[in-house]
Structure 1
Amino acid sequence: MRVPWGRIIIFGTIVVLIVVVFTVFKGILLPLVFAFLLSYILGPLVDRMEGMGISRTAAIILLYLAMFGLLAVGIAVLVPVIRDQAQKIAQNFPTYQARIQKVALDLGEMMDRYVPGLSEKLGDRVSGWFGRTMETLVQKGIEWVQGLISTFTLVVIVLFGSFFFLRDGHRFKTALVQLVPNRYFEMTLNLIWRIDRQIGGYIRGQVLEAAAVGILATIGFAIIDLPYFILVGAIEGAANIIPYFGPLIGFIAATLVAFLTGGSGTLVLGAAVVCLAVQQIDNFLIQPTVMARSVALHPLVVMFAVLAGGSVMGVVGMVLAVPVVGILKVMVQTALEGIRTYRASQELAR
């Protein structure tokens, strides 16, 4: 089998260039990327409202008002609960520290039979790790408060950017196509259509999937009476946006909360069962329903993209990695198809 080195080199070069550009200009590009993603999520609703006779600008404004209304209700109802649960976790942190340290000491005493002095070393290391973790959490909290102003600025930029993407998106596409030479006209239209279809479907599907997983997990945790079930369910849903690693993060969070809050082995097992059950529902029911228009990337490519995105832009990079690689894949495929078509036409002309 012949290795397609040309495709590999082209794709690799594009990926490296994208990573370099995002690394250098991420402060500028990040708001635009979020605005672009938000416009993809709201785009079909705007198109449908426009088809009902509502002007595009009015449709966008109505959607924004509805979005802000839902957000206000969510903040009024959920934020106080999540805040109280987060405060309780912070207050009980010394108890959790002592519990984990005791488990580490018990484990160390069992291992002392084979490695003398291990329990003392293990206890000191666990205590030191928890101390450093607490300091890190406090520092992150201070940084988060300090970053509220920049976050507000980011939100404003994203809203303005998505407004113009939604209102003038068709004009942007038309202007782009007009810049393309006639011989690449059909290929460019095909590229835009494929990106809209695959990436738009993926982004909207991910948002719906995360919401469904979060709701199901919250209900499951409430049934087993898991402490902080709303907060843990929100983490489960939000983390699910990250391919492969997200469900693992949610699983660790749920079982860790069940263990640290002094729950019995039954509660820990129940939290694990809820996570596994939600993931099975996600894999066999939610994903086939809402992710019909997938980017169709190999799992190894997805894992590499998520790791690379995380190393460049942290959690945000992990979330954006798959859509970016999906766009690159569509661009390379369309370009190669155009090249093959051009070569075939040249051979027929001879």
Structure 2
Amino acid sequence: MTATPQTLIRFFAGVAAAAAILFLVWYFSAIVIYILVSAVLAIVGRPLVRRIGGIRIRGWRVPRWVGALFTLLTIWIVFITCCSLFVPLVSHKLFQLATLDFGNVLSSVQEPITRAQEYLQSLFSLPEQHFSLADALSSSFKRLVDFETLNTALTSVVGLALSSVIAFFSISFITFFFLRDDGLFYAMVQAVFPDKYQQNVTRALDSITVLLSRYFTGILAESLLLMIAVLLVMMAFGMRAEDACFIGLVMGVMNVVPYAGPLIGGAVSVMMGVVTPIEGMSVGRTVVVIAGSLLILKGMDDFILQPTLYSERVKAHPLEIFVVILIAGSVAGIVGMLLAIPAYTVLRVFAKEFFSQVSLVRKLTKQI
């Protein structure tokens, strides 16, 4: 393409408009998040709304607002049920950590700690009187999970929960209208673009809806299957149902965050095994059972489910997805990794519609 004054003006005008839109999105980020979460919930609940809307009773057709309200109530029930299962388990485990006698825990794994200390002393030529691995571990654990720290964490969680009430009702209100008025979200997005781009925007939104629906339903199914598998395997080794449910929930919830989530969930699960070992097993054997089981189950998940979920469902190469997640994680941490794939999918679809003449864009979007 030959660069002309008109094309340069259009390019810089497009860059300026994009920068202005990004600034507004950042400035009103809370409202944008409400709208995006509501749009995702509307995508998930749309099939149920349509099914209810197709019901006829003696020639009377169920109004769409009834289907939207029923679907929203169903989403609420699922959310509240998950919270009622997860929150008591977390609170109980936090209480156990706050009242834990770390001396007894360390004495149960004294032998491997002693071997590790002897190895470190021989490796670094450390005098025995100047270094004690057991004391170092005990003091570190006490600093991490002492009662004051946990109390502060619980206070922060309570404050976050109270501030989330506004978000909960805002999202519910927006989701209801997105479910009731099928084209409302499309109209909101199309209003930002000039009339001559309306067809491009409509095609982009259709593609995004299909891809994100496949992605979110896939990742929810994957997390549920992993949670059930971990729960059953832990109970098969003799773990109490309460502890097995906790580890299963942790792994299922953290699995939503690509790559880093399962590592964090595995570390929390192993720590729970140290706090409450399996009955009849030592702490060391419990840690080996939990770590080994999670490695095997997560390996099966990585090689069987995730390639289909992260690449085929969003029509992108696995290496491409991996690089995008790394970049998002370095910029915005765990939240960035969580939102990386959906955000990248949206950007790819809009880039295909508006910048298909660019060679790089054609290569990145050829599978869409």
Q: Which position in structure 1 is the counterpart of 2:36?
A: 33
Say yes or no: does 1:167 pair with 2:180: yes
CA contact (8 A) 2:100 2:275 kept: no
RMSD over equivalenced CA pairs, Å: 3.8
- Bigger Cα displacement from structure 2, 279-288 vs 125-134: 279-288
For residues 166 and 315 of structure 1, the distance between their equivalents in structure 2, rounded to whole angstroms, comes to: 30
CA contact (8 A) 1:198 1:294 kept: yes
Cα displacement string for residues 126-150 of structure 1 (whole angstroms, at most 9, x for unaligned residues) = 3443233225444222211222210
For residues 254 and 41 of structure 1, the distance between their equivalents in structure 2, rounded to whole angstroms, comes to: 30
The aligned amino acid for 1:208 is A
> TM-score by structure 2 length?
0.73
> TM-score by structure 1 length?
0.76
Say yes or no: does 1:112 pair with 2:121: yes
CA contact (8 A) 1:199 1:323 kept: yes
For residues 238 and 98 of structure 1, the distance between their equivalents in structure 2, rounded to whole angstroms, comes to: 29
Selected match of 1:48 from 47, 51, 54: 51
Q: Which has the higher helix share?
A: 1
Say yes or no: does 1:220 pair with 2:233: yes
Say yes or no: does 1:87 pair with 2:102: no
Cα displacement string for residues 134-180 of structure 1 (whole angstroms, at most 9, x for unaligned residues) = 25444222211222210222211121122222223413424655775
CA contact (8 A) 1:104 1:126 kept: no
Unpaired runs of at least 5, structure 1: 1-11, 341-350
For residues 297 and 81 of structure 1, the distance between their equivalents in structure 2, rounded to whole angstroms, comes to: 37
Say yes or no: does 1:243 pair with 2:258: yes
For residues 119 and 303 of structure 2, the distance between their equivalents in structure 1, rounded to whole angstroms, comes to: 42
Identity rate, percent: 23
- Per-residue deviation, 1:70: 4.3
Q: Which position in structure 2 is the counterpart of 1:344?
A: none
Instruction: Please show how residues 273-292 of structure 1 align to structure 2 within 5 Å.
Output: 273-280=292-299, 282-283=301-302
- Per-residue deviation, 1:286: 5.0
Q: Structure 1 44/15 Cα, relative in aligned 2: closer, same or farther at 3 Å?
A: farther
The aligned amino acid for 1:325 is Y
- Per-residue deviation, 1:290: 7.1
For residues 179 and 20 of structure 1, the distance between their equivalents in structure 2, rounded to whole angstroms, comes to: 14
Secondary structure at the counterpart of residue 355 of structure 2? helix
CA contact (8 A) 2:121 2:127 kept: yes
Q: Structure 1 278/109 Cα, relative in aligned 2: closer, same or farther at 3 Å?
A: closer
Selected match of 1:271 from 259, 270, 290: 290
- Per-residue deviation, 1:66: 2.9
- Per-residue deviation, 1:324: 0.8
Q: Structure 1 290/54 Cα, relative in aligned 2: closer, same or farther at 3 Å?
A: farther
For residues 122 and 213 of structure 1, the distance between their equivalents in structure 2, rounded to whole angstroms, comes to: 35
Selected match of 1:199 from 209, 212, 233: 212
- Per-residue deviation, 1:235: 0.5
Q: Which position in structure 2 is the counterpart of 1:133?
A: 144
CA contact (8 A) 1:222 1:229 kept: yes
- Bigger Cα displacement from structure 2, 65-74 vs 247-256: 65-74
Q: Structure 1 175/15 Cα, relative in aligned 2: closer, same or farther at 3 Å?
A: closer
For residues 16 and 101 of structure 2, the distance between their equivalents in structure 1, rounded to whole angstroms, comes to: 47
Q: Which position in structure 2 is the counterpart of 1:155?
A: 168
Selected match of 1:329 from 348, 353, 360: 348
Unpaired runs of at least 5, structure 2: 1-14, 56-60, 360-368
For residues 30 and 167 of structure 2, the distance between their equivalents in structure 1, rounded to whole angstroms, comes to: 10
For residues 325 and 308 of structure 1, the distance between their equivalents in structure 2, rounded to whole angstroms, comes to: 11
Q: Which position in structure 2 is the counterpart of 1:9?
A: none
For residues 63 and 95 of structure 1, the distance between their equivalents in structure 2, rounded to whole angstroms, comes to: 51
CA contact (8 A) 1:309 1:321 kept: yes
Secondary structure at the counterpart of residue 347 of structure 2? helix
- Per-residue deviation, 1:93: 5.8
Q: Which position in structure 2 is the counterpart of 1:5?
A: none
For residues 258 and 232 of structure 2, the distance between their equivalents in structure 1, rounded to whole angstroms, comes to: 22
Cα displacement string for residues 233-261 of structure 1 (whole angstroms, at most 9, x for unaligned residues) = 10100011111222333333333433454
Q: Which has the higher contact order (CA 8 A, sep 6+)?
A: 1
Selected match of 2:197 from 151, 159, 184: 184
For residues 66 and 231 of structure 2, the distance between their equivalents in structure 1, rounded to whole angstroms, comes to: 36
- Per-residue deviation, 1:123: 5.0
